[in-house]
Amino acid sequence: MQQFLDTTLGGLVLGAVYAAFALALCLIWRSTRIVNFAQAAMAMVTTYIALSLINADVPYWVAFLAAIAAGFGLGAVIERVIIRPVEGKAELNAVILTLGLFMVLHGLTAITFGVQHRGFPAPVSTNAINVGDTSIGITPFGILTIVVVAVVMAGLVVLFRFTDLGLRMRASAFNGEVSRLLGVRVGRMLTLGWA
């Protein structure tokens, strides 16, 4: 029974990590109608930025915010410089671009940060939680992961269903021409979706 509980809880945490990447893919899809195959590479770049800052003795949460800002900027630049020129053309063009971007980001990251395996420090304990004499197969870091992904998911639901910004982003993705006629700055919405 203990092994079943440990495996289930470990699966929930790993599933939350996969869900976080799926949320990022869904965000870009819902706001731009493009599948971003470079999503994992973009996340890797921002993770290396955070790790470099942490290794330079920058506080963990400052490095975390810097990585978020770097990811925002990276997404905006990619949309403006790489994706925007193929907007309105065959959908396959954007797919090929994101696949190529995946390879370019992997190569540049290997050149910049090296290829050796590195661990990323956790903001909270990674030791299993003990209840009495029994060790439960989840850590405070695992609980934090699940909670953060759930909060981000709820935030995206609120953004796309209940805010004017979310409505403008969806409208820009589904029909840019009509959105422009209604006064929506489609270019800005697409950039924001990638950011």
Q: Which of 27, 111, 114 is nearest to 71 (CA)?
A: 27
Q: Is residue 46 part of a domain?
A: yes
- Which residues in 86-103 are b (16+ Cβ under 10 Å) and which e? beeeeeeebeebbeebbe
* 126 occurs within a structural domain: no
Number of domains in the chain: 1
The pLDDT assigned to 171 comes to 82
Q: What is the pTM of this model?
A: 0.80
Whether residue 127 is contained in a domain is answered as no
Per residue in 69-122, pLDDT tens? 999 999 999 988 988 888 778 878 888 999 999 999 999 999 998 888 888 888
Torsion angle in degrees (nearest 10) through CA of 171, 29, 162, 154: 180
> Would residue 79 count as lying in a domain?
yes
Predicted pLDDT at 1: 67
Q: Retrieve residue 1's tokens.
A: 């029974």
Which tokens is 107 given?
A: 């190569």
Domain range for 81 is 2-117+139-194
Q: The tokens of 18 are what?
A: 């996969």
Return the pLDDT at 186: 81
Widest CA span in the chain: 66
What's the pLDDT tens digit per position in 132-179? 777 777 888 888 989 998 998 899 889 888 998 888 888 887 777 888
